[in-house]
Every structure is written in structure tokens, then in C-alpha cells.
Structure 1
Amino acid sequence: MQNRKDAGVNEVIASILMVALVIVLAIIIGSIVFGVIVIQPKSAYIPPRVEVVNYSGQQAISLYSRGGDPAVLDKGDGVQYALGIYVENTSGSSRATPDPGVKSFGPGQTLYIYYRNGEYRATDNLTGKTFDKLPPGPLTLRLVDENARLLVYKEGIGMGGEGTVTVSPTPTPSCGTITGIVFNDLNGNGQRDPGEPGLSGWTVQYRYSKNLGQGSGSGDWSAWISGTTGSDGAYTFSSLLYQPTHFYEVRVLLQQGYTTIKPQLVYSFKLTPNENECYATGKDFGIS
């Protein structure tokens, strides 16, 4: 008798749990259908560092990519990550138009948003550009995945009513540093294109000499010194000698299963006390 009662209680509990599960699933499905819950696609964007910089007496907005996969600055079929850059003020929202030749935005790159003839434009180099004062009032910068129509980043840029801003200097690498990225060069062209991921855990090495080119033959090179790429494939060597001038070579050690390194097997260059030559950037290795 007791066993039959216990079995009956268990059946009631099981029925209640089943009904509750059906109700929860119905609520979740209904929320997705009616847009209460939005399933967002994978986004490879890492929030950039945003600053306002001064160039020739005018201001521009600087975006420095700190990581993630490269994204093209447009939308289109077959493009995995397409990034749109929008600037909003009290008058509305405007999409920044990339200058000719400016096609992507990826780790280690800097873009500048400037204002000219009533529109915002995006460039990777302000040299020789002429542009107007940023519009007065507060501005908001929005980064949008154009294919997924997904807002991936938003930041307000405080400005006074006169169009003035607190100006930060253009980011400059520290002296005595070497930086680059090791990436999977899927198409073998030696350049990092959108969709080509960084390779983490790869060994990058450098060596140095201060006598190269002074009749010393081998240049009295140091032993090779190793570092490892981070999760995004980037590497940095810091606190390097550059006073007086030192010569450097950088290479990556090929791992099993890969056969090709582009654009160069070894980078050779020098670091000098000159403020524009005391660091080295863009020492990238495409692996295939």
C-alpha cells in the first residue's frame, strides 16, 4: 500500500516538473520570436582605445585597435566582419566614409575620424589632410557590425559648446620596443587580411649587436632571446637598447604542420636615439 502511495506522489511530482519545463521553454521561445531575447552572433571586436588628437590646429578622433580579428570597413557578401563607424551629435548620425585605400581595421592599427565639407571620413594617416573643426556639442562614436546589424561599441566624446575638446597626444610606441603579430596567412599573400586569425603560443626571437657595419664581421651578435605570442598573436619586446644605436634581427620559429613564412623570414633593422627610430612596429609574420 505504501509503495503505491509513493509511486503516486512521484508521478505527480514528475508531471508538475514536466509542465514547468514546458512553460519555461515556451517563454524562452516566445521571447526569442518577439525580440525580447536577442541571440547575438559571434563578434570578434575588442573595444578600441578612443582619443581626440590635435593635428595642424584641428581635432580628429583616434581609434586604436587593441585586438580581435581584422574587419573590413564596408559590408558585402562573403565578408565575415564588416565594421561601420558612425558619429552622432544633436543633428543626427553620420557614417564615416573610408578614404581611398583604407579598407580594414585590425590589431595594432590606428584610424582617424576627421570632419570635412559636412561629412566624417576615416583615414589611417593624417599627413597632408586638411579638415574642418569637429561640430559643436557632445559627440557619440558607434561601431556597428554591418552584416549582423549589431552595435559592438559605443562611447561618448565630451565637447563644449564651442567645439573645443580635451586633446590627448597621438599614441606613440615607447622607445626600446619591438612589436608585431604572428598570423595564419590563409591566402599566402604575406599580408594580414580580414578573417586571418592571430596565432597564439608561437615563439618569436630577437638578437642584437651594436657593432654591425663597423668592420666586425659577424657583428658580435648576442644569443637569440625568445618571447611568446599572446592570445591574439601579438608579441612585444621591451626595454631594448637603442642608445647608442643597436642593430636587431627578429624571427619566428616555424611549428610542425606549417611550411611558409611571409613576407620575411628575418627582419633586420636598427633602433637609434632618434625619437622616430627608437622603436619598431609592424614586424609581422604570416604563417601558412
Structure 2
Amino acid sequence: MIPENERALSELIGTILVIILVIAIAGIIAALVFGWSIPLQRTPYFVSEAEAIDNASVVRLFHAQGDPVSLYPGATQGLPMKMTLASGPYFYEVAPLPSAAEKGWRAGETLYLFRNASGVWIADSPALIQDSTGFAPGHWRLSLVDITSNVLIVQHTLDLAGDGDGPVPLPPVAEFTANVTTGTAPLVVQFTDLSMSLIISWSWNFGDSGTSSAQNPVRMYALPGSYSVTLTVTNSSGIGSITKNGYIVVTPPVLPDGTIAGYTWNDLNGNGMWDAGEPGLGGWTIQLYDRTGSQIETLLATTLTDPNGYYSFTGLVYTPASQGMYAVREIVQPGWIKTHPATEYHFIGLNNDNKYIGGINFGNMIL
């Protein structure tokens, strides 16, 4: 008879073998169903060391240990790999100089990576570094990838700089967006720059006489109107600009029943129309009268415009219609002339169909 302990061991081993067989079958089925492939080639074993030299304009790359590596098309020695260098919008696939094109890179050997006007190159001797211009200052990623399996083997992060101008970026392409484009006054808008290439400066024109040099500015539109927004960006390769016409639309604030409201503005061109970019006038006196027909009766209230030129009269009678007859005028300040309205007063009637009214505006220009 088989001892009890040997029988238990035999059953355990049998169970393990069954589990392994099931896993193997499941792997084969998954490969057939999902198209998985099992690579048969060997991934390179490779250790390298990298440092920036020559005022951080050249990279010295040392093969510390591992397999011989081929970085050169047509090389007869070493496992094939490619080297890339990237930072922000810049990406280079590094090429060997012709003098090293058929050599393998073995443990104990040093390579030199540099840039000139023709590209980014690998040299096997510092004597072969020619007309190095360096790189755009910043953090760069140096990657070595196994070409056969497309697997990243080694990656180094380097702080590089330039003895010369560094890489030349593409000309800028301006673009932007905003978190809101319509709303009632005052409307606060967050602009976000979406420009492409290595941008070094931003110039915004918000269409209301406001400007900014921030990358992602915030603007408050105090006055109703339609505003065109322009963004101009620059880098070392040129200028890019975009204008979005009528991009921001600001409507008057919602008014409660029994309200008359409006603005006093600086009519810069004197045309009697409130054009984009013409600011409000704060601290101007506005008067409210009742009236009978065109006959001005009693002064009911006086107010001052706020810093944006806005004013309002609230709690007014609007029914019956015969009691909701009003006239509004401004007191023109010395050195100014009124351009809107053509008459001294705005005549307003409030009733059940028109319980409030906005846009009772006054234009003025400097004499």
C-alpha cells in the first residue's frame, strides 16, 4: 500500500500540474481570440549612464554594462535600438554620424550626442562634434527603445542648455477659448490660451479697450455689448494672431418690476451710438421726474452712476398706466456735450405690459 503521506503529496503535485495546464490552455485560447502574440526575441539587457557636458550643450552617454547595442542602420553588431530626444514641442530621432554608421556600441564605450544646424547626431569621439549649437534650455528625455519589440529599455532625464540659439520652434499658431461667452452684465470671463508651439509672449485685446499680457487672463465685462477678442502670440520664429468677432455677448442685467435703468457712456467718436470699447462714465447725476404727457412735473429721485456708468430707479408705479409716466435726464458735467438722446429727457411709460425698462442711456463726449 502507498503510505498516506505519499498519497497526499502525489495528489498535491497532480493538482498543481492540472492548474498549470489549465492556465496554459487559457493563455493559448486568449491568444487566438484576442490576437495576442508571445515575442520570441530576447529583450536587450542594457545599462547606460548619461550626463550633460560642455555647458550642458552635449550629452555624454556611457555603455555601463550589458549587451552590445546597434544604434546604426545596417550595423552588423549588437541588438537594434533607436535613440530619441524630446522636450515639449521638440522631438528628435537621433542619427549616427557616417563615421560610426556600422559600429556596435559595447560595454565600456562612450558616445556623444550633440545638435547642429543639420540635426541631432551621435558621435563616437568628441573630436567629431562639429558646430554644436546646444538645445533649448529645459528638461529633456533621452530614450533608448528596442526596435524589435518596441519596448523602452532606458530613459534619462537631462537639463540641457545651448551655446547657440538652440532648436528653432515652429511658427506660433494662436488659439484660445473662454469658460463663458454670453451672460448678463457684469460678466466675468476666464480666457484660456490654446496656442501651439513654444510661445514666449501673449497679447490680448478684449474688445472693450482692455488688454493683457497674461497667458490665461480673466476679464470682467461691465457693460452690455458684443465684443471681439484678439490674441497675438510670439516666439523666436514669428507671430501668430487670431480674432474671434462678436465672441463675447453681454446682455443688460435682469430688472425687477417697477425699474428704470441705463448707462451714461463716453461717446469717444461722438456718433451718438454706444460702440464697443467706449467706457461708462461714473459719478454722473441722473434725475427722475413724473410727467403728464410731455409736461415735466415733479422731481422724484436723484442718483449717481456707478463706476461702470450704470444707474437704476426702483420701486416705481407701473399700474394703472396713467400713473406710470416718467422722464429721465442727466446733468451734463462741465467740459462735456451730450450726444444721446437728441432731446433733454428720455420719456418712459411703465404699465402691465412694460413693468420695467432698461437701456435708458446717455452719451457724452468731451468738448
TM-score by length of 2: 0.35
Q: Greater CA radius of gyration, 1 or 2?
A: 2
The structure in which a higher percent of residues are strand is 2
